[in-house]
Chains A and B, each alone.
Chain A
Amino acid sequence: DVKVTQSSRYLVKRTGEKVFLECVQDMDHENMFWYRQDPGLGLRLIYFSYDVKMKEKGDIPEGYSVSREKKERFSLILESASTNQTSMYLCASSLHQDGNNEQFFGPGTRLTVL
């Protein structure tokens, strides 16, 4: 079974702190994604990566950065956390090919910034 794991289910941080959210997948997927999910807004793409050391901005990259040093790991970084970054963060991975290559999701990290 494909497994996507995220380092924390719940996280509480203070404004201004640097926050690292880690995501690891074990199926050798090329593509990895970071979303945030807010009520009424669905899933919004922050960043994605289709290869090691490659990254592409999604719809809401401001205030975030990412790192992909190894194929299986995709990290989301909040350089200076703010209260408006309180949200559920979902990581996903998929194969880089046409067809039924659905995204596999991690369990999510619920981040609260105080």
Chain B
Amino acid sequence: AQKITQTQPGMFVQEKEAVTLDCTYDTSDPSYGLFWYKQPSSGEMIFLIYQGSYDQQNATEGRYSLNFQKARKSANLVISASQLGDSAMYFCAMRLTNTGNQFYFGTGTSLTVIP
């Protein structure tokens, strides 16, 4: 069963605008972590941001913020003031504590920033 769903295969955003990348997850476990990774065309996976299931505040890291809505089981990534270097694939992932720290990844969203 799909545990992480990213419904946007591709997204476009104008430079300097904000963009939201959607992610929903499915688990009945109370303890889990949510992660976003960026994969540029060079192929390396870059960790961006983390949200724990018990965290009360939404996570923020510079221009990245995570809009965590626990009741809706969504963990959308918001990128503010988009830059050309933000063009990449973005993956949402979930780690379940009770499965040996196994990660589940979504299918990714390809973001293109337009000058």
Q: Are B33 and A43 in contact (CB under 8 A)?
A: no
Let me know if B7 is at the binding interface, CB within 8 A: no
Taking the closest CB of chain A, its distance from the CB of B111, in whole angstroms, is 15
Contact with B along A89-104 (1 / 0, CB 8 A): 0101010111111111
Taking the closest CB of chain B, its distance from the CB of A69, in whole angstroms, is 19
Taking the closest CB of chain A, its distance from the CB of B29, in whole angstroms, is 12
Contact with A along B40-72 (1 / 0, CB 8 A): 000111010010100000000000000000000
Number of chain B interface residues as a range: 20 to 34
- Give the A interface residue count (CB, 8 A): 29
Number of residue pairs A-B, CB distance < 8 angstroms: 62
Taking the closest CB of chain A, its distance from the CB of B47, in whole angstroms, is 4
Name B4's closest neighbour in chain A (CB-CB): A42
Q: Are B52 and A45 in contact (CB under 8 A)?
A: no
Let me know if B28 is at the binding interface, CB within 8 A: no
Taking the closest CB of chain B, its distance from the CB of A23, in whole angstroms, is 14
- Taking a contact as CB atoms closer than 8 A, the residue among B31, B35, B97, B106 that contacts A102 in the complex is B35
Interface residues of B (CB under 8 A from A): 6, 9, 31, 33, 35, 43-45, 47, 50, 52, 91, 93, 95, 97, 100-108
Return the 10 tightest CB-CB contacts between A and B, nearest first: A105-B45, A42-B107, A43-B105, A102-B47, A100-B50, A50-B100, A42-B105, A108-B43, A42-B108, A31-B101
User: A90-B45, A94-B101, A100-B52 are known contacts; what are 9 more A-B pairs with Cβ within 8 Å?
Assistant: A41-B107, A43-B91, A43-B105, A45-B102, A48-B102, A98-B33, A98-B52, A98-B97, A105-B45
